[in-house]
């Protein structure tokens, strides 16, 4: 965390708040206390097992109270003002806090549950943690609108939180992500992301682990080498390569992988983080340059499980967007939504060519 100060505070209802300051921040070291009168935190949600798949579904009724696209003067992620009792008491560069309406929450004293096996009517407490990562105090924007210096601070925050959350009892996997755009279902325009600390290995990662078991531990290394020889590369540096995958499902889909075996953000080196802060911004600005207005997306940072497969599962960004044209979205209908059988609308090679052109245009008009 060289040059990026970290301060840990507590909100009025006991949730944790962490400030990460830019290296050249002009903010004062002192931060205000949260003096709001808040109701108690909601009880930790319940998980129920789908016996047909073995997957766990969280039932979190508290999420129904989330704020929906508030005006700037009532933005819950902006610094507090006399008229806006937001979640963050002080001015900040980057702030991380426990979600007020989480899908996973504190252990009520039961201890980690045994989630193995399959049975009818199984339930368990949804122990884990959900955090909000505020990229900036600005009301509108996304990761791609940040400065390179601020992007670097956010990457440090991701690394710090990955390490801290991985150390919590019962946490099996840590997932940083950004939802961008109302077409994705975003409820706040404020530039922010989230981090989920799950009590289980997610279904998507379980499928990857099954593929590694069948193929061998070099699966992701071989995949990267395969893509580096092809025509779907969109951006590359000394430590990272971005490409449209051979079997892309979404109209816009880009994967970004480190060249070295790195299981998660906490394991990345200083040099890898430095390069990522530039390459990732170039990629996101290129995605936005595909059309005349910003593209909705999910930026999902897949990380290795906390306690297994650290030498074979590689940190990977999978950025996906349903946008298949200037005014068209891909909706998951019968085959995809019901059966998980995908039909791609755009050839991956064609989309890679368009992304390379868009990144080159963004480099000229909106350089990092």
DSSP state of 79: B
Backbone angles phi, psi at 276, to 5 degrees: -60, -40
Q: Percent helix, strand, coil in the chain (nearest 5)?
A: 30, 25, 50
252, 287 contact by CB (below 8 A): yes
- Angstrom distances, CA of residue 63 to CA of 15, 45, 67, 139, 313: 16, 10, 9, 22, 31
Its pTM stands at 0.97
Dump pLDDT digits (tens) for 261-314.
999 999 999 999 999 999 999 999 999 999 999 999 999 999 999 999 999 999
pLDDT digits (tens, 9 = 90+) for 128-179: 999 999 999 999 999 999 999 999 999 999 999 999 999 999 999 999 999 9
Would you place residue 69 in the very low, low, confident or very high pLDDT band (cuts 50, 70, 90)? confident
Query: What integer is the mean pLDDT of 67-87?
Result: 93
Residue of 9, 190, 192, 302 marked active site: 192
Record: fold of 205-365: HIT family, subunit A (3.30.428)
pLDDT at 111: 87
Contact 234, 290 (CB under 8 A): no
Rounded to a whole number of angstroms, the distance between the first and last alpha carbons of the chain is 22
Average pLDDT, the chain: 96
The dihedral through the CA atoms of 197, 305, 200, 215 has a sign that is positive
Tens digits of per-residue pLDDT, 344-368?
999 999 999 999 999 999 999 999 9
Predicted confidence at residue 10, as pLDDT, reads 98
Does 2 have pLDDT greater than 80?
Answer: no
> Which residue would you say has higher pLDDT here, 69 or 160?
160
CATH H-level, domain 6-200: superfamily: HIT-like (3.30.428.10)
When pLDDT is cut at 50, 70 and 90, the band that residue 54 belongs to is very high
pLDDT at 197: 98
Check if the beta carbon of residue 113 is closer than 8 Å to that of residue 44: no
Q: At what angle do helices 203-215 and 219-228 cross, to 10 degrees?
A: 90
Active site residue 192: yes
Domain ranges, ordered by start, for the chain:
6-200, 205-365
Indicate if 205-365 has the same CATH topology as 6-200. Answer: yes
Given a cut of 90, is residue 8 above it in pLDDT? yes
């Amino acid at each position: 965390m060289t040059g990026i100060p970290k301060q840990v505070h507590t909100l009025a209802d006991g949730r944790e708040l962490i400030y990460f300051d830019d290296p050249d921040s002009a903010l004062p070291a002192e931060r205000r206390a949260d003096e709001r009168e808040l109701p108690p935190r909601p009880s930790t949600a319940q998980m129920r097992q789908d016996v047909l798949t073995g997957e766990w579904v969280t039932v979190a009724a508290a999420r129904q109270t989330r704020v929906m696209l508030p005006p700037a003067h009532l933005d819950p992620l902006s610094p507090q003002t006399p008229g806006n009792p937001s979640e963050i008491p002080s001015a900040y560069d980057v702030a991380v806090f426990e979600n007020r309406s989480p899908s996973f929450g504190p252990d009520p004293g039961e201890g980690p549950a045994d989630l193995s096996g399959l049975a009818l009517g199984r339930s368990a407490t949804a122990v884990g943690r959900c955090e909000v990562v505020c990229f900036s105090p600005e009301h509108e924007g996304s990761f791609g609108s940040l400065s390179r210096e601020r992007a670097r601070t956010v990457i440090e925050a991701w690394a710090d939180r990955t390490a801290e959350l991985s150390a919590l009892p019962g946490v099996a996997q840590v997932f940083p992500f950004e939802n961008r755009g109302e077409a994705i279902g975003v409820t706040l325009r404020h530039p922010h992301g989230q981090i989920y600390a799950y009590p289980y290995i997610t279904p998507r990662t379980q499928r990857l682990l099954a593929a590694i078991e069948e193929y061998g531990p070099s699966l992701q290394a071989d995949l990267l080498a395969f893509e580096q020889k092809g025509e779907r590369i969109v951006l590359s540096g000394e430590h990272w390569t971005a490409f449209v995958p051979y079997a892309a499902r979404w109209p816009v889909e880009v994967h970004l992988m480190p060249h070295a075996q790195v299981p998660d953000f906490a394991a990345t080196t200083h040099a890898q983080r430095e390069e990522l802060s530039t390459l990732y911004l170039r990629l996101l600005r290129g995605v936005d340059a595909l059309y005349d207005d910003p593209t909705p997306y999910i930026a999902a940072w897949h990380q290795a499980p906390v306690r297994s497969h650290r030498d074979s599962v590689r940190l990977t960004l999978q950025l996906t967007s349903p946008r298949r044209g200037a005014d068209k979205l891909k909706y998951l209908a019968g085959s995809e939504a019901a059966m998980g059988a995908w039909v791609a609308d755009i050839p991956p090679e064609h989309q890679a060519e368009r992304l390379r052109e868009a990144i080159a245009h963004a480099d000229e008009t909106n350089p990092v």
